Structure 1
Amino acid sequence: MPVEPQPLGRRERNKQAKLERITAAASQLFAEYGVDEVTTQQIADAADIGTGTLFLYAKTKGELLLLVQNLHYAAALERGRAAVADTETALDGMLALIAEVVDCNRVQVENGRTYLREMVFGDPSEPHHAEALSIVAQTQQAVAEILVERAQVAAPEAATLAGVVSAIMFMDLAASVNVGASNQEILAQIRTQLAAILPR
């Protein structure tokens, strides 16, 4: 007989409610003003908590950005996985997946670029950073699956190529030269590069 999950206690419910308020406040303020223009005090005030409490959930503003963007990235990855089903070729499948990530990352361009920097240079022992890296790994796994299924690439090679695909995507998203580019222009650049590395 399956064991039903126990309801959360009051303390855990309070912690979850605070986390949700922090995430909502940071998400709104970052989207409206950009991460560089928002202070932790503003986020704490908007979440109706003290700054000391805020730092229990995220030690730095960079970690707060990771907390917020991880949720958006995970949702974008799910949309991308679903979009792959409407494509036929490996290249189109990868681009359908990547397009959702690009759109998510560029809702607020500087926030997206800062998120990528935090992902690369942040503290890997910090839980929000570890979660970001986990989502990247899931993205690479999804790319590898497309390569195996649609381009008949062996699994080990597909995993290596998926890492290259990820590097191409993140480099194009982070590059200063692309700050003013449209999402479609960035996707066109990515398409050209992916077409060049796909097995013939």
Structure 2
Amino acid sequence: MPLASQPVGRRERNKQQKLDRITAAARELFAERGVDEVTTQEIADKADIGAGTLFLYAKTKGELLLLVQNSSYADALAEGTSAAEHIPAVLDAVMAIVRPVVECNRKQIDNGRTYLREMIFGDPEEPHHRDALLLTVQTEQAIADVLQRDERIGSGDAATLAHIVSAIMFVSMAATINVAAPVDDVVQEIRNQVQALV
């Protein structure tokens, strides 16, 4: 029987079900009260597992936040990349990628800022952290692909510019001065900087 068509074993199904329960519990509690106000014991209780089991899936609360936010970020990036395909103007297409990522990050501002901090300072050997870093690479690649539509921008320059755009986006989302700023203001700030860049 080909490997791809073999049924998933009970043990793997149980692990996936636990991971799904942990993710759902953490997502709900973090959205309600923010990551700083939730304990790992509360997440374990809501997921109906022991605290020790929880730590097999994520060793810290920060890693739990990465687990939860990574799926939202991936969805936002897919939405933005898809929208950008149909927008001819380079700046508008870049911003089509950026906007859903900003919106995703700003759903719960404290969680979004903590997520960015975990991405930067977290343990790169931890799988949820690696997934978050991969998302930043994918974001930069999507932006670089758009920038290369401009015949004046080669692939090397596009990659460098995309890295700068990514930095602008992350600093704008994390900046204390923008804590109370609505999404539109943060996106406009990013757009102004990107426009000056490209």
CA distance in structure 1 between the partners assigned to 2:41 and 2:151 by the alignment:
51
Q: Which segments of structure 1 move beyond 2 Å, counting only runs of 4 or more?
A: 1-5
Deviation of 1:55 after TM superposition, in Å, equals 0.2
CA distance in structure 1 between the partners assigned to 2:78 and 2:21 by the alignment:
24
Identify the residue that residue 145 of structure 2 maps to in structure 1.
Answer: 145
SS class of match (2:75): helix
* Aligned 8 A contact 1:89 1:150 in 2: no
Residues 1:99 and 1:38: Cα distance change in structure 2 (over 3 Å): same
Identify the residue that residue 158 of structure 1 maps to in structure 2.
Answer: 158
Query: Which blocks of at least 5 consecutive residues in structure 2 are unaligned?
Result: none
Q: Is 1:71 the counterpart of 2:98 in the alignment?
A: no
Identify the residue that residue 17 of structure 1 maps to in structure 2.
Answer: 17
Superposed CA offset, 1:122-181 (max 9, x none) = 000000000000000000000000001245410011001100000000000000000000
Superposed CA offset, 1:32-77 (max 9, x none) = 1000000000000000000000000000000000000000000100
AA matched with 1:109: I
Residues 1:29 and 1:151: Cα distance change in structure 2 (over 3 Å): farther
Deviation of 1:115 after TM superposition, in Å, equals 0.1
Identify the residue that residue 182 of structure 2 maps to in structure 1.
Answer: 182
CA distance in structure 2 between the partners assigned to 1:29 and 1:20 by the alignment:
14
How many residues get paired?
Answer: 198
Deviation of 1:2 after TM superposition, in Å, equals 6.7
Residues 1:39 and 1:148: Cα distance change in structure 2 (over 3 Å): same
| TM-score normalised according to structure 1 size | 0.96
Identify the residue that residue 93 of structure 1 maps to in structure 2.
Answer: 93
Root-mean-square deviation (CA), in Å? 1.2
Deviation of 1:86 after TM superposition, in Å, equals 3.3
Identify the residue that residue 54 of structure 2 maps to in structure 1.
Answer: 54
CA distance in structure 2 between the partners assigned to 1:101 and 1:150 by the alignment:
23
CA distance in structure 2 between the partners assigned to 1:96 and 1:151 by the alignment:
20
Query: Which blocks of at least 5 consecutive residues in structure 1 are unaligned?
Result: none
| Aligned sequence identity (%) | 60
CA distance in structure 1 between the partners assigned to 2:3 and 2:36 by the alignment:
47
| TM-score normalised according to structure 2 size | 0.97
CA distance in structure 2 between the partners assigned to 1:6 and 1:100 by the alignment:
37
Identify the residue that residue 119 of structure 1 maps to in structure 2.
Answer: 119
